[in-house]
Amino acid sequence: MARPKKNQNPQVIPAKYSGTGLTLAQVESADHRQLAYWWRFLPNLRTGDEVSDLLVSRFKALGGMTPELSKSIGWDEPKK
């Protein structure tokens, strides 16, 4: 499997209905890598927000952050 190039991170898609800017449908359909990306870079994940709670619970259920996943998404937040 080829390593992803730096800055090939999926972009956070702006949406309504949540402090995260995401919808429940987006979080429900996201894969492990996308959830990890959002978990690392979204500044406003908070307890009690339905979308944030779903994102965190799905992310943990899929195994949470692994060293490989962490390296794949990197630490450099995308430029806005």
Tens of pLDDT, residue by residue over 18-36, are 566 788 999 999 999 999 9
DSSP 38-69: HHHH-TT--TT-HHHHHHHHHHHHTT---HHH
Per-10-residue mean pLDDT, the chain, length 80: 44 49 90 92 80 92 95 79
